[in-house]
Amino acid sequence: METDDTLGFVFPGQGSQSLGMLAELAEHHPAVRATFDEASTALALDLWRIVQEGPEQELNRTEITQPALLTAGVAVWRAWVAAGGPRPAAMAGHSLGEYTALVCSGALAFADAVTLVHDRGRFMQEAVPAGEGAMAAILGLDDEAVTAVCADAAQGEVVEAVNFNAPGQVVIAGNRAAVDRAIEGAREAGAKKAVPLPVSVPSHCALMRPAAERMGERLAGVALETPAIPVLHNVDAAASDSADGIRERLVAQLYRPVRWVEVIRAMQARGVGRIVEAGPGKVLAGLNRRIDRRMPVSAVLDPDSLDKALEQ
């Protein structure tokens, strides 16, 4: 497999799932169904049936969503490899997608990752009872303004900027009442939009520390190798070449922000000039265009988009 030193691969996180995802790709590329079958065996449930037939509320349960999206990303990567696609110079994933990147880089066995993220979803859900946490997207304010709004709105509770997704696009998370206060504060500060997100878990904020502790114990028993392709981590936009370094970053990732803008800039600093998003949806492709309009980005999720990305 040849390496393209100008190519980066990125993998999406929660929110990119949809019923019927990758159905068309599966018809043309046997690797897709084979990957889902492998995941189903690891989880002892029919993941492909849930992804294709639902019900939607089942797919949207975080302990199902996480393995479903990880499997989808790995399936697209395997289809890319089987079709003769080049090896990228670097990989990254948004939140959960970091686990997908670690599987595709050879650092983490796929079957281990599937059960790991199933538990990750459960730990996250159990850390904050349903209804007590919230997340919201703030558009049109710079990072410093959003951080200041959160500091004013906290009032002894937790509300933090948790996803620095693109310039002027930041997600906040924390206790529901504090997030509501921050939404009002953001509107008063001149945000173009401040909208609650339909999620059941306040990811990447201090409320996730109990989940992080449980994840640390869980990761201690999982084998990790040095990635064959560098993976840039969410918490510091840096690559780690040690198992302990990867574990530390995966634990910290649960309660620290996703620094997506810095991750993409770090890829560019390594010489990456084109990015492929592997998995359902086009969320990261949209964010990456906002980060740097000049950098080509392809979302690979069906046979046509795979063929086009391979041609480029």
Condensed to tens digits (0 to 9), the pLDDT of residues 245-264 reads: 999 999 999 999 999 999 99
- pLDDT value, residue 278: 98
Q: What's the pTM value of the predicted model, to 2 decimals?
A: 0.97
| From 95, 200, 298, 305, active-site residue | 95
φ and ψ of 89, to 5 deg:
-80, -25
| Residue 215, pLDDT score | 98
- According to the model, what pLDDT value does residue 198 have? 86
What's the rounded mean pLDDT across residues 99-114? 98
Average pLDDT over residues 51-74: 95
Candidate list 204, 233, 298, 305, residue with the active-site label: 204
Q: Identify whether 95 is a catalytic site residue.
A: yes
pLDDT-derived band at 200 (thresholds 50, 70, 90) equals confident
Task: Burial-class residue 290 by CB neighbours within 10 Å (0-12, 13-18, 19+).
Answer: middle
Q: Which of 7, 28, 78, 99 is nearest to 309 (CA)?
A: 7
User: Percentage of the chain surpassing pLDDT 90?
Assistant: 96
The overall average pLDDT reported for the chain is 97
**pLDDT of 195 above 90:** yes
Cβ-Cβ contacts under 8 Å for 144 (sequence gap 6 or more): none
